[in-house]
Structure 1
Amino acid sequence: MAGRKINPWLKLGLEFGPVLAFFIAFSRMKDLHYTIGGTEYSGFILATAGFIPLMVVATLVLWRLTGRLAPMQVATLVLVVVFGGLSVWLNDERFFKMKPTMIYLLFAGVLSLGLIRGKIWLALVMEEVLPMRPEGWVILTRRLIGFFFALAVANEVIWRTMSDQTWVNFKTFGLTALMMVFFFSQAKLFEKYALPEEEKAGDEPEA
């Protein structure tokens, strides 16, 4: 079911605002430590503690305004709450750093399961904005599975071997940029398997 249309800038702000807020909070508090209730917390943990409720509120507002949430948005919110919550509760930033790994492995696993069962679940999510023939969706799904696995590996390598600032930069800007580059690189695939105009028109309800 299609959701209600809202201002694209508002939608962008609700989707990426919490991530940007986390980046700013971390950048300002990364070298500081705070003692709360006798326990010392790093700036990273406190930035994470602020990010979780902000992400929840932004997602709920988006759902309220549009009337729907994509499965990827729901899964992302759940993993943010679970892994972010574990980091704050256990005062261990590693759980939050593993969150992107879990997200991309989950997406890759779900898409792989769909292919095994002969279902192209990616098409169910994106076909309204990207009409393609079934064979095009199969190719895109396979490529996206490989891409998600690559992102999961990249996240693990970066957070385990590089500085917190490098990981935060990668999470805030790198993952989004890589996703955009991936879809731009599929332009020839979209063009080759695009539905003819008459088929698109045939899907539209008559007046």
Structure 2
Amino acid sequence: MKLLLDFLPLLLFFVTFKYADGRADWAAAFATEHLGFLVSGGKVGAAEAPVLLATVVTMLATIAQVLYLKLRGRKIDLMLWISLALIVTLGAATVYFHSETFIKWKPTLLYWAISAAFLVSRVFLGRNLLRKVLGAELQLPDPAWARLNWAWSVFFGALGVANLYVAHAYSTEAWANFKVFGATGLMVLFMLGQGLYMSRHMPEQDEAPAEEPKP
């Protein structure tokens, strides 16, 4: 359930964008009629309508996600709060200026926030953030925890750069595909690599003593 909630705004962004992109004229008319009062100039063109509608849907989905967790009395992760702040701020700018540039920065800023959290906790606070999260479940030597923490910081920093590159070097449609499939795929590969590395450094379980032969 949590995994579905985490990925729901991303999936809704992709589905909405693809649907509106295939009906650009309809999307422009719909956005102008229903969101024109939020847009500078009051009119949305066919070129920017798909990403604008997808952004609005994502904003609503993220707000609904936070409200749902609040009403259920569940803890809201810091990264979700940061994601909410970014999507509301940059999403509002995207809608008002009807420009996809702002929303394209959102994944990068989120990735860099994650990268900075691992970096700052280690360098300035002397803490290993990854060990704090997973230390109760995994037993690893100190050097392994240190390498893993650095790996998370470097990976998310690089992923933020990759998002900017795709956003500015390719079309909005290509960026949307990368946002959903490319970035997610890279995260899955990274997690698999982390799992393999952890398995190499986890202490081996003591073998169970052999049973004595029955007389």
For the aligned pair, the TM-score class normalised by the smaller chain equals 0.7 to 0.9
Determine which of 62, 71, 75 is the counterpart of 1:55: 62
Task: Tell me what 2:160 maps to.
Answer: 152
Determine which of 40, 44, 52 is the counterpart of 2:44: 40
Unmatched segments (≥5 aa) in structure 2: 207-215
Task: Tell me what 2:102 maps to.
Answer: 95
Task: Tell me what 1:80 maps to.
Answer: 87
- TM-score normalised according to structure 1 size: 0.81
Query: RMSD of the TM alignment (CA)?
Result: 2.1
Query: Once structures 1 and 2 are overlaid, which stretch shifts more, 173-182 or 133-142?
Result: 133-142
Task: Tell me what 1:141 maps to.
Answer: 149
Distance between the aligned counterparts of 2:73 and 2:138, measured in 1? 20
Equivalent positions of 1:1-207 (< 5 A) are 10-30=1-21, 31-32=24-25, 33-34=28-29, 35=32, 36-37=36-37, 38-41=42-45, 42-65=49-72, 67-117=74-124, 118-194=126-202
- TM-score normalised according to structure 2 size: 0.79
Cα offsets for 1:28-54 (capped at 9, x unmatched):
112332323432251211221121011
Distance between the aligned counterparts of 1:65 and 1:128, measured in 2? 26
Q: How far has the Cα of 1:185 moved from its partner?
A: 1.1
Distance between the aligned counterparts of 2:72 and 2:182, measured in 1? 28
Residues 62/128 of structure 1: CA separation in 2 closer, same or farther (3 Å cut): farther
Task: Tell me what 2:210 maps to.
Answer: none
Alignment length, in residue pairs? Answer: 189
Q: How far has the Cα of 1:66 moved from its partner?
A: 6.5
Query: Once structures 1 and 2 are overlaid, which stretch shifts more, 64-73 or 160-169?
Result: 64-73
Residues 119/178 of structure 1: CA separation in 2 closer, same or farther (3 Å cut): same
Q: Is the 8 A contact 1:87 1:95 kept in 2?
A: yes
Residues 138/48 of structure 1: CA separation in 2 closer, same or farther (3 Å cut): same
Structure with the greater alpha carbon radius of gyration:
2
Distance between the aligned counterparts of 2:163 and 2:179, measured in 1? 8
Distance between the aligned counterparts of 2:140 and 2:78, measured in 1? 20
Query: Once structures 1 and 2 are overlaid, which stretch shifts more, 138-147 or 116-125?
Result: 116-125
The one-letter code matched in structure 2 to 1:16 is F
Q: How far has the Cα of 1:167 moved from its partner?
A: 0.7
Q: Could you say what secondary structure the match of 2:44 adopts?
A: strand
Cα offsets for 1:43-95 (capped at 9, x unmatched):
21122112101111123323544621222222222212221122112222111
Residues 16/163 of structure 1: CA separation in 2 closer, same or farther (3 Å cut): same
Q: How far has the Cα of 1:123 moved from its partner?
A: 2.1
Residues 146/177 of structure 1: CA separation in 2 closer, same or farther (3 Å cut): same
Distance between the aligned counterparts of 1:93 and 1:174, measured in 2? 19
Distance between the aligned counterparts of 2:191 and 2:166, measured in 1? 23
